[in-house]
Structure 1
Amino acid sequence: MNHTTQVPDRLPVREETGAATAAPSPPRARAPRRPTSQQWAAWAFLAPVTLYLALFYAYPLYRNLDLSLRNYTVRSFVQGDAPFTGLANYRTVFDDPTFAPALLHTAVFTAVCLVFQYAIGLALAVFFNQHFRLSATLRALFLVPWLLPLIVSASTWSWMLNSDSGIVNAALHAVGVDPVNWLTSPSWSLTSVIIANIWIGVPFNLVVLYSGLQSIPGALYEAAALDGAGAWRRFWSITFPLLRPVSAITLLLGLVYTLKVFDIIWIMTKGGPADSSTTFATWSYQLGFGNLLPAFGPGAAVGNLLVVAALVFGLVYLRVQRKQYES
């Protein structure tokens, strides 16, 4: 019987070492990695912050957005069966004759307060940066308006600006100036609340800007003085440019705070007379809680406009900061 030996069509290729090259094995699927103790610790530290943001920021914003998109009444607010109306509340707000004056008052109130608060705060910060005698004591006294409750500050300014018994009109009368109806005149009511809010906001600007000045090396001022630069030149060439990052965050925080100022205006003028000092903050309150038949939807819509405005300015600030870091 003949035994035929079958020769394979392809012999295994041998390397120089004489061993056959084996076919590559398929990759094994990696087992999912279990979180390490450090990762669990990170999530444990992150959980309280996440819970806080969800309960006190995300949920209120969601509820306010829901209020602005539905036709809520007192009954439906309790029972929760308000019909969905879309952007009808926003159209109601835009068509309201109070919208244009409130927008103008909000812009003027915010811009004027920011400019004067920053300018006065910066001037005081530079002044106290000289480290003279009693500097710390005077700085502490300037913090009093910031530490007082807003209701106390607003009530104090209401008494000072009272047309009949206010100390401001008494001082004007002493120098021969006619009394001014600060709180009851449409021409002066917005000016009155602006003055009060500037007085309250200056200490915040002073504290933040003074802290920024402490980070500027004193050697820069000494070198500039040796080169013959005067005080004004040193301010514009050293202090102001190096203080720019601190100034940016100070103005942003001041902007967000000033946009939502309610207590000062409501206690002093209640937005009047004749809506002459009405801003978006006071108008939102009037719509939602200031009438016998509250308009929850339009009131929430006005509040959302303030949120959007603050968000836009915050995004602009982040974009500017990113460009500065990239450059």
Structure 2
Amino acid sequence: MNDTARIPDSRSVRDGDGAAAAAPSRERADAGPTRSRPRSQQWAAWGFLTPVVIYLGVFYAYPLYRNLDLSLRDYTVRSFVDGNAAFTGSANYRAVLDDPTFLPALLHTVVFTAASLLLQYGIGLALAVFFTQHFRLAATLRAVFLVPWLLPLIVSASTWSWMLNSDSGLVNAVLHAIGIGPVNWLTSPSWSLASVVIANIWIGIPFNLVVLYSGLQGIPASLYEAAALDGANAWQRFRHVTFPLLRPVSAITLLLGLVYTLKVFDIIWIMTRGGPVNSSTTLATWSYRLGFGNALPAFGRGAAVGNLLVLIALGFGLVYIRVQRKQQTS
């Protein structure tokens, strides 16, 4: 028998041992970067998150905490300066709920918000569908409709105050020209709330137009062509194609509009100051008047009204999140 067949080649042994020895070393060399890479990515993630966390803490969390603290203490001008306000618990909330202004202010807030949302969304959707029909000057007209959104609110509110003036307003001049008597838009308890609603609708239409028009651009044209081939008319195409596919965009548009409208203060304050006789007072204007609009401010009760507004907005936000989850799972 050839003995050479039983003797292992020393070179192969060395090569094998070298490969075996080199394999762990390569594994260790490869393992080092894989352990350090996630750590570096974590530090980078924290680096990007830190400014956001600081911003939210300084401009959101701390003001909410201070507002909650204000609502739970008996703050006066003196105690607000020296910080020695007595803790009163829920006394400010009870005082607000028992105040005769609360229910009218809540009702005005509901009417103001609901009317503004429905008409802003309805008119904005109609204009968005109209502008999807490509025609000359469409871009120019869309830019013109954005003007109310671009103007400062104080300018818009002042303009509407002039237009609705009982004596020299443009609206009453037009009504007089067609044989209708003057209307006391801003000084009559019957018309003051309607006046601020009209102004707020005019200001909010451009936002709804822009968002809904963007949503309409994402609907494939092939769906409309297929519906037309099936014999669907314009209303049927809108009802069965446009509106269902636009539902997610509509939901976020209405939610953002709701949050914005709930806290509208400057338009109402500039035009009517919540009057006359609290006929256009909302929770937002009442909160400001309690805290800053009186000679003896009630900081605690004003903060309590503000917190009630926050809870209402938070409640609608949670409802929206729950509806979205149901739609995603269904």
Structure 1 gap segments, 5+ residues each: 1-31
C-alpha displacement of 1:33: 9.2
C-alpha displacement of 1:132: 1.1
What is the match of residue 182 of structure 1?
185
| Residue type at the aligned position of 1:314 | G
Any idea what SS the aligned residue of 1:89 has? helix
Are residue 50 (structure 1) and residue 32 (structure 2) matched?
no
State the number of aligned residues: 296
Task: Please give the residue correspondences for 1:64-213 in structure 2 after superposition, counting only pairs within 5 Å.
Answer: 64-213=67-216
| Runs of 4 or more consecutive aligned structure 1 residues displaced over 4 Å after TM superposition | 32-35
Are residue 320 (structure 1) and residue 284 (structure 2) matched?
no
In 2, the alpha carbon distance for the partners of 1:134 and 1:33 equals 58
How far does the alpha carbon of each residue in 1:167-195 deviate from its partner, in whole angstroms, 9 at most, with x for none? 00000000000000000000000000000
C-alpha displacement of 1:133: 1.0
Among the aligned pairs, what percent are the same residue? 81
What is the match of residue 259 of structure 1?
262
Are residue 59 (structure 1) and residue 62 (structure 2) matched?
yes
Q: 1:230 aligns with which of 233, 237, 260?
A: 233
C-alpha displacement of 1:301: 0.2
Any idea what SS the aligned residue of 1:200 has? helix
What TM-score do the two structures reach when normalised by structure 2?
A: 0.89
| Residue type at the aligned position of 1:127 | F
What is the match of residue 290 of structure 1?
293
In 2, the alpha carbon distance for the partners of 1:253 and 1:34 equals 40
How far does the alpha carbon of each residue in 1:198-257 deviate from its partner, in whole angstroms, 9 at most, with x for none? 000000000000000000000000111111110000000000000000000000000000
Distance 1:50 1:125, change over 3 A: same
In 2, the alpha carbon distance for the partners of 1:284 and 1:220 equals 49
Structure 2 gap segments, 5+ residues each: 1-34
In 2, the alpha carbon distance for the partners of 1:131 and 1:311 equals 40
What is the match of residue 240 of structure 1?
243
In 1, the alpha carbon distance for the partners of 2:58 and 2:36 equals 32
Please state which structure has a larger fraction of its residues in helix. Answer: 2
C-alpha displacement of 1:160: 0.1
